[in-house]
Structure 1
Amino acid sequence: MKIKSLLLLAYLTLGMTMIMPKPVQAHCEIPCGIYDDALRIKLIKEHIQTIKKSMHEIDHLSTQSKTDLQQIVRWTNNKEDHAKKVQEIMTQYFLFQRVKLGTNDATKKRQEQLLLSLHEVCVYAMKCKQSLDYKMVDKLQAATEKFEKLYFNK
């Protein structure tokens, strides 16, 4: 009886793992070789626009006579989620996959500039999570544009 129960439990567990949805990631660390660097920059810029809009909505809701705290919390969470996504793209995609380790002095110099620029984007994304200071969004935008120019040699 116990063996039948254990077998049934094992089959049910196996069956459930086969039909349960699994989370899908946009990119891997295999590396797969399928890259769209310009798309990643575009996504970062969209996240920055969303961060700015979220800040605006938080400011707007905070001035209302009847403060809607739930909406403020939702916009705050939205702002922080998009700032985190900027950090994830910059680290998981660019830092770990696309910015290669330098082997000669010229390559190392360029990589140092890219790393400093990448770090700057991540720091300003963190500052956007921490505050409602629009200057931080402007700095995040400028740092992203600086990284883009360095990365694409514009």
Structure 2
Amino acid sequence: MKSHSSTYIIAAAAAIFSFTSATTVDAHCQVPCGIYSDDTVLKDLHTHQATIAKAMQQINELSKDANKNANQLTRWVNNKEEHATKIQETMSQYFLAQRLKLDEKESNKESYLKKLTLSHEIIVLAMKCKQGTDTGNAEKLHKAIDAFTTAYTAK
């Protein structure tokens, strides 16, 4: 049975680390460079989601003996946060800002709204994955990324 003090220690350590660590953003530059491919970016979203799911599994397992596993717990929490943030950045900076075209709302409003709605769902689910270790949210995120991929790549 874990004590409340160990839970608070882990939470405090994670909070301190997240405020003191340097953050880098690997967002697309928004210049039409032609370097990024949609297939690669979509695959990366799936990789980030799989990492989040693995992190949640590890956090839940390591939490059974939080005092012994404090360092690893902190590392997994930070890893989960990092990958969820990358999903949010990719959706907002690559897809919403660059790849979903405004003129599609006139030519194919239903398709446009579906992609827009799924983008928002992915961003929110990534946030929910940051907030806890409910693996159900990771599974919903996986399904949302799959649905977005299907909608985005449809001809």
Same fold (TM over 0.5): yes
CA drift at 1:26: 5.8
Residue 89 of structure 1 corresponds to: 90
Q: How far apart are the structure 1 equivalents of 2:95 and 2:140?
A: 19
Look up the match of 1:72: 73
Question: Which AA in structure 2 matches 1:46?
Answer: T
Aligned to 2:50: 49
Q: Taking structure 1 as reference, are residues 97 and 76 closer, same or farther at Cα in structure 2, changes over 3 Å only?
A: same
Kept in 2: contact 1:47–1:85 (CA 8 A): yes
- 1:112 is aligned with what amino acid? L
CA–CA distance in 1 between the matches of 2:136 and 2:43? 21
Query: Could you say if the C-alpha distance between residues 27 and 77 of structure 1 is closer, same or farther in structure 2, counting changes exceeding 3 Å?
Result: same
Secondary structure of the equivalent of 2:65?
coil
Per the alignment, residue 128 of structure 1 pairs with: 129
Rounded Cα–Cα distance in structure 1 between residues aligned with 2:95 and 2:148: 10
Contact 2:27 2:93 in 1 (8 A): no
TM-score (norm 1): 0.78
Deviation at 1:29, TM superposition (A): 1.0
Residue 98 of structure 1 aligns with which residue? 99
Shift of 1:147: 0.3
Q: Which residue of 2 aligns with 1:111?
A: 112
- For structure 1, the 5+ residue unaligned runs are 1-22
The structural deviation recorded for 1:111 is 1.4
Which amino acid is the alignment partner of residue 59 of structure 1?
Answer: N
Deviation at 1:107, TM superposition (A): 2.5
From the CA coordinates, give the structure whose radius of gyration is larger. 1
Residue 68 (structure 1) shift: 1.7
What is the total number of aligned residue pairs between the two structures? 132
CA contact (8 A) 1:101 1:108 kept: no
> Deviation string for 1:22-80 (max 9, x for gaps)?
x8956311222333101111101011111111111111111138532121111101101
Q: Which residue of 1 aligns with 2:29?
A: 28
Letter in 2 for 1:118: S
Where relative contact order (Cα < 8 A, 6+ residues apart) is larger, the structure is 2
Q: Which runs of 5+ in 2 are unaligned?
A: 1-23
CA RMSD of aligned residues (A): 2.1
